[in-house]
Chains A and B, each alone.
Chain A
Amino acid sequence: MHTDHVRHIIAAVAAVLVAAGVLVALNAASPGLTTGVWMRETLALVGEGVSQYESMSGNWLILRGLLGVYLTGLVAMVSLLLVLSLRTHPGVNR
């Protein structure tokens, strides 16, 4: 058998086994997939306990800040590259 075929088979089998293992383990820890509505209700339920957030408001704020900086930085960088492409690419290629 060709070496590359062996690589495909090993990779495919390993991928399915690992994915199945992870999903089975998570399902054992918390049975049942989300239905979306359940997710929103869960978030709302957790959200009602505002006091839980007050105890970790410092970390919460830091996380939000970091996410905001990451989001803003990446958007700014990509927007800049986009505008610069008008200079580096004088038109489109057909």
Chain B
Amino acid sequence: MSESTTQVDRFSAVQVYVHFLMALAILVLFLTGTAITFSGHVGWLVAVVGYQNIVLIHIVAGVTLFITLLYFIFYLLTGLATGDVPTAWMPTPGTVREAITYAKHILGRGEEPRPGKYTWIQKSEMLIIAVELTVLTLTGLVLMFPGLLLRYRPSFLVASDLHAVFAFTLLMGVTFHLYDTHVLEFPLDTSVFTGTVSLERAREEWAGWVDDEGTRTDGGETGTDRHIQIAGVVVVLFTFAVIYSGVMIDRILAPVPGTQVTLYLLDAPETILEGSFGLFWGLGLNVAMLVIIAGLVGLLYGITIRVTD
């Protein structure tokens, strides 16, 4: 059997289904959350679904995410009793050394690093997502009950700010993740659904995880679609620019979050986000919505492969 067809187990069934539920909830939260925050720019979704329904769907998806996270935490905790706790994702001093090796390699001063099951970038992604989901869950629970805002004002307004900023930061992180899983592994990296990867790919990307006997090929067609990769980078960078500038104007620079009353340094934000330059955010936020919808389609297609396999 060739190395390109030999499969290596990478994800357990629990990881596959928890990833699916989390991703589904998060993508729905992004769709509805963008419509709640920037309803003027993605008015088509508000018109189709209705503002009240969007808020309700946002709450249902949020509670689904909350329960899924709790389930995974309790599942891991029960693993302490059986001695089955995954540790490969945890950062170690070796992770820092790998990042330094990566930087040297990029600068042309050393060999490519040999990561374990997860690269230093993947470990960083997981840690950042864990922190952001914790903040988003806590602030989201508070925002579900707005009476708390009135009772504990103005402190609880902080919850609104944190929720929006961390949500859109996570959206940018997820966009980067989608670039990894839909562009670099075109058109879809199915490993998180099937739970397996080819031995050749494992040796290429996580050489320290599997036995390395010098094989450095991937088995697929590599390097033949440079234009797809460049187009992907351009779309992701454009999405970053739109979301970053939108959140900076609507949240960071606006003293009263969401109300868009005034800015410390600029004029009223609605004159910027919805003024002469509004086309930039109108176009960009809809590109972001398309990215989210593409992620949803990929997710549903992937889980279909798993279920029907």
Query: Chain A residues in contact with chain B, CB under 8 A?
Result: 3, 6-8, 10-12, 14-16, 18-19, 22-23, 26-27, 29-40, 42-47, 49-50, 52-53, 56, 60, 63-64, 67-68, 70-72, 74-75, 78-79, 81-94
Is A89 touching B173 in the complex (CB atoms < 8 A)? no
**Contacting residues of chain B (258-283) with chain A, CB-CB under 8 angstroms:** 258-259, 261
Q: A71: which of B51, B78, B160, B169 is its contact (CB, 8 Å)?
A: B169
Q: Within 8 Å CB of B82, what residues of A?
A: 3, 7
Chain B residue with Cβ nearest A75: B244
Query: Chain B residues in contact with chain A, CB under 8 A?
Result: 14, 36, 51-52, 54-55, 59, 63, 66-68, 70-75, 77-79, 82, 106, 121, 128, 141-151, 153-154, 157-158, 160-162, 165, 168-169, 172-173, 176, 179, 183-186, 201, 218, 220-226, 228-230, 233, 236-237, 240, 244, 247-248, 251-253, 255-259, 261
User: In the complex where A32-B145, A43-B157, A71-B248 touch, is A92 in contact with B63 (Cβ < 8 A)?
Assistant: no
Q: Within 8 Å CB of A72, what residues of B?
A: 244
Is B169 touching A70 in the complex (CB atoms < 8 A)? yes
A81 to B180, CA, bound (A): 11
A15 to B66, CA, bound (A): 9
Q: Within 8 Å CB of B252, what residues of A?
A: 64, 67-68, 71
17 A-B pairs in the complex with CB atoms less than 8 angstroms apart:
A15-B73, A26-B148, A30-B148, A37-B52, A39-B143, A40-B258, A42-B149, A43-B149, A49-B154, A50-B256, A52-B153, A53-B255, A71-B247, A82-B236, A84-B106, A89-B184, A93-B222
User: In the complex where A34-B146, A42-B149 touch, is A22 in contact with B141 (Cβ < 8 A)?
Assistant: yes
Q: Within 8 Å CB of A3, what residues of B?
A: 82
Give the most central of A6, A26, A64: most B CB within 10 Å.
A64
Is A85 touching B233 in the complex (CB atoms < 8 A)? yes
Is B237 touching A82 in the complex (CB atoms < 8 A)? yes
Smallest beta-carbon distance A21→chain B, Å: 11
Is A33 touching B153 in the complex (CB atoms < 8 A)? no
A49 to B155, CA, bound (A): 13
Is A67 touching B165 in the complex (CB atoms < 8 A)? yes
Is A92 touching B176 in the complex (CB atoms < 8 A)? no
Is A39 touching B225 in the complex (CB atoms < 8 A)? no
- In addition to A11-B71, A11-B78, A32-B145, 10 A-B residue pairs with Cβ atoms within 8 Å of each other are A16-B67, A34-B59, A46-B149, A56-B154, A67-B252, A70-B165, A87-B106, A89-B184, A90-B223, A92-B228
Q: Within 8 Å CB of A90, what residues of B?
A: 222-223, 226
Q: Within 8 Å CB of A16, what residues of B?
A: 67
Smallest beta-carbon distance B216→chain A, Å: 13
